[in-house]
């Protein structure tokens, strides 16, 4: 493996997390991650060293997702992450409260329209700057901040105003 | 002081210029309402930072790590074709063949970055066919001169000069012969080898020039492989873009060969078509 691949390997957990935001179902999310990795390897000459590999790969993932989603409509969303029960026996797993809380956040996030959900995830989960997130989504910054604001308002109503504590 | 929501968001996200960050910071001290709005957004950020955290703690599946570590396979992708510069109908042909990024760059030695591995193999094979089997092939053959399309030599030139289309013999097989609108003869060929290729060569006054190559035949692995019987779609698309009329039949080929493959503009089309 070269530098590019080593960097990509360290990004894998974050790529999988972003894929969950997009695809929700773990199997679909890992399929999406795999597709993203393959596309990134094919286009590695388009990545400019010195720029952020993560936002570059998020852009590839988002475009891959659009391609996939066009071909296959999302079907039968589940209401809770299927792995919630599987984690219970794991001593390193977070507390029950944390899991329930995380699930509430994840469900609220998943209920957002996709444009807002991705904007929220890139900035508030992945920590990208507005500029980087806008480039990942290939939209103007104003569009990004507008989606972010609407997503935030909905999440605030669903999570904060309903009494969920950070 | 009234602070719009967007500014509160940008403050929490650290996206304001330093003087505005300081201004909001100062205003929070005297404006409990503003302080509450900021704290609410900070709480939202903290909540979201835990979203899908489970997947961050897992070891990624082996299949994913393997995908990262894999070398991109030089799988034959029929939509890709190397279109060498200099083809008379190159613009049209390229467009029609949907040949995308992998074109041989003009300056010698600039190949490599981002060019699929099979192109290197194909280029070596072409270079070998171009210069024959004697010396180590100098890559400059592929890009030197005014017309950078490589000149066929060795077994490739021999096959193009003498072989009848569809006559399966030797390492190079000519598949199809046709004329362009300006009467130039072109022939598609396939070459067996470690990385079988198919290509298209057109006759200049003094030589066959290879206008396009594309991977052909069975999978990307294995040792010595015979070229598949099918000409890749990308080459056929290039043919479609250049061909005038029907492919040559055996009699047409024999006539052209007897005339040394000199351009033979159709009489009814009023002589040589302009370039």
* pLDDT values of chain A reduced to their tens digit, one per residue, 166 residues: 788 899 999 999 999 999 999 988 888 899 999 999 999 999 988 888 888 899 999 999 999 998 887 776 544 443 334 444 444 344 444 445 555 655 788 989 989 999 999 999 999 999 999 999 999 999 999 999 999 999 999 999 988 876 655 4
Does one domain contain both B202 and B155? yes
A47: nearest CA in chain B?
B114
pTM: 0.50
The set of residues, in sequence order, having a beta carbon less than 8 Å from that of B147 and lying 6+ positions away, is B85, B86, B204, B209
Q: Please report the sign of the dihedral spanned by the C-alpha atoms of residue A66, residue A67, residue A72, residue A78.
A: negative
Q: What share of chain A is helix, strand, coil (3-state, %, to 5)?
A: 75, 0, 25
**Domains contained in chain B, number:** 2
Does one domain contain both B199 and B88? yes
Does one domain contain both B99 and B50? no
Does one domain contain both B30 and B99? no
**Exposure b/e, B237-266, CB count within 10 A at least 16 = b:** bbbebbbbeebbeeebbeebbeeebebbbe
Does one domain contain both B33 and B105? no
Does one domain contain both B16 and B122? no
pLDDT at position B108 = 41
Contacts A105 to B, Cβ<8 Å? 47-48, 50-51
Percentage of residues in chain B having pLDDT higher than 70: 61
Q: Tell me if B68 and A1 make a contact (CB, 8 A cut-off).
A: yes
Q: Report the distance separating Cα B252 and Cα B203, nearest Å.
A: 15
Asked whether residue B188 is domain-assigned, the answer is: yes
Instruction: State ipTM.
Output: 0.78
Does one domain contain both B122 and B194? yes
CA distance A98 to chain B (A): 9
CA distance B16 to chain A (A): 11
More reliable by pLDDT, A88 or B36: B36
Q: Please report the sign of the dihedral spanned by the C-alpha atoms of residue B171, residue B177, residue B180, residue B182.
A: positive
Asked whether residue B271 is domain-assigned, the answer is: no
Q: Do residues A32 and A68 lie in contact, with contact meaning Cβ atoms separated by under 8 Å? A: yes
Q: Which of A128, A98, A57 shows the shortest CA–CA distance to B57?
A: A98
CA distance A106 to chain B (A): 6
Contacts B51 to A, Cβ<8 Å? 17, 21, 102, 105-106, 109, 121, 125
Q: Report the distance separating Cα B137 and Cα B133, nearest Å.
A: 8
Q: Do residues B170 and B155 lie in contact, with contact meaning Cβ atoms separated by under 8 Å? A: yes
Q: Tell me if B45 and A44 make a contact (CB, 8 A cut-off).
A: no
Reported residue count of chain A is 166
pLDDT at position A103 = 76
Q: Residue B182's pLDDT band (boundaries 50, 70, 90)?
A: confident
Q: Which of B55, B57, B113 sits opposite A20 (nearest CB)?
A: B55
Its CATH architecture, for the domain A93-166, is Orthogonal Bundle (1.10)
Does one domain contain both B31 and B138? no
Measure CA of the first residue to CA of the last residue in chain A; give whole Å: 40
Q: What is the pLDDT of residues B49-86, one digit of tens each?
A: 889 988 899 899 999 999 999 865 554 444 445 565 54
Asked whether residue B186 is domain-assigned, the answer is: yes
CA distance A156 to chain B (A): 7
A123: nearest CA in chain B?
B13
- Expressed as residue numbers, the domain containing B250 is 82-264
Q: Report the distance separating Cα A104 and Cα A57, nearest Å.
A: 27
B163: buried, middle or exposed (CB in 10 Å: 19+, 13-18, 0-12)?
buried
Asked whether residue B270 is domain-assigned, the answer is: no
Q: What is the pLDDT of residues B200-254, one digit of tens each?
A: 899 988 889 888 888 775 544 444 444 445 777 888 888 888 888 888 888 999 9
The set of residues, in sequence order, having a beta carbon less than 8 Å from that of B95 and lying 6+ positions away, is B241
pLDDT, average across residues B179-183: 89
Q: What are phi and psi of A69, to 5 degrees?
A: -65, -30
> What DSSP string describes A51-110?
B-HHHHHHHHHHHHHHHHHHHS------SS-GGGTGGGG-TTSPPHHHHHHHHHHHHHHH
Does one domain contain both B231 and B150? yes
Does one domain contain both B228 and B95? yes
Domain ranges for chain A: 1-73, 93-166
Q: Which of A26, A87, A124 sits opposite B45 (nearest CB)?
A: A124
For the structural domain made of A1-73, what CATH number should be given?
1.10.1740.10
Does one domain contain both B27 and B141? no
Does one domain contain both B251 and B149? yes
């Amino acid at each position: 493996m070269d530098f590019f691949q080593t960097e990509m390997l360290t990004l894998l957990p974050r790529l999988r997390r972003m894929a969950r935001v997009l695809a929700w179902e773990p199997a679909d999310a890992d399929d999406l991650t795999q597709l993203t990795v393959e596309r990134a390897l094919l286009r590695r000459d388009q990545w400019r060293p010195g720029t952020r590999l993560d936002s570059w790969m998020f852009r590839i993932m988002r475009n891959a997702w659009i391609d996939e989603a066009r071909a296959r409509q999302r079907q039968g969303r589940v209401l809770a992450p299927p792995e919630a029960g599987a984690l219970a026996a794991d001593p390193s797993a977070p507390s029950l409260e944390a899991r329930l809380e995380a699930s509430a956040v994840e469900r609220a996030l998943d209920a957002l329209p996709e444009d807002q959900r991705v904007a929220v995830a890139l900035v508030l989960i992945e920590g990208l700057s507005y500029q980087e997130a806008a480039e990942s989504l290939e939209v103007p910054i104003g569009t990004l901040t507008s989606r972010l604001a609407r997503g935030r308002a909905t999440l605030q109503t669903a999570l904060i105003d309903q009494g969920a504590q950070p | 002081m009234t602070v719009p929501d967007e500014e509160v968001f940008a403050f929490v996200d650290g996206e304001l210029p330093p003087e505005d960050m300081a201004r909001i910071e100062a205003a929070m001290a005297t404006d409990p309402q503003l302080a509450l709005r900021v704290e609410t957004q900070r709480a939202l950020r903290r909540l979201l930072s835990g979203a899908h955290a489970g997947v961050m703690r897992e070891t990624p599946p082996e299949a994913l790590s393997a995908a990262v570590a894999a070398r991109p396979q030089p799988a034959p992708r029929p939509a890709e074709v190397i279109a060498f510069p200099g083809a008379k109908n190159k613009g049209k042909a390229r467009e029609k063949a949907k040949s995308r990024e992998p074109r041989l760059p003009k300056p010698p030695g600039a190949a490599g970055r981002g060019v699929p591995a099979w192109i290197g193999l194909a280029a070596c094979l072409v270079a070998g066919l171009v210069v024959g089997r004697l010396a180590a092939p100098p890559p400059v053959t592929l890009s030197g001169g005014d017309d950078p399309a490589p000149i066929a030599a060795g077994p490739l030139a021999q096959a193009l000069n003498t072989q009848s289309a569809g006559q399966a013999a030797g390492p190079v097989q000519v598949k199809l012969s046709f004329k362009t609108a300006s009467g130039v003869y072109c022939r598609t060929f396939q070459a067996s080898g470690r990385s079988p290729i198919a290509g298209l060569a057109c006759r200049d006054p003094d030589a066959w020039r290879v206008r396009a190559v594309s991977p052909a035949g069975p999978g990307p692995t294995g040792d010595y492989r015979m070229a598949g019987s099918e000409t890749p779609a990308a080459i056929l698309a290039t043919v479609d873009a250049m061909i005038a009329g029907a492919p040559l039949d055996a009699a047409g080929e024999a006539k052209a060969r007897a005339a040394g493959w000199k351009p033979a503009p159709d009489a009814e089309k009023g002589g040589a078509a302009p370039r």
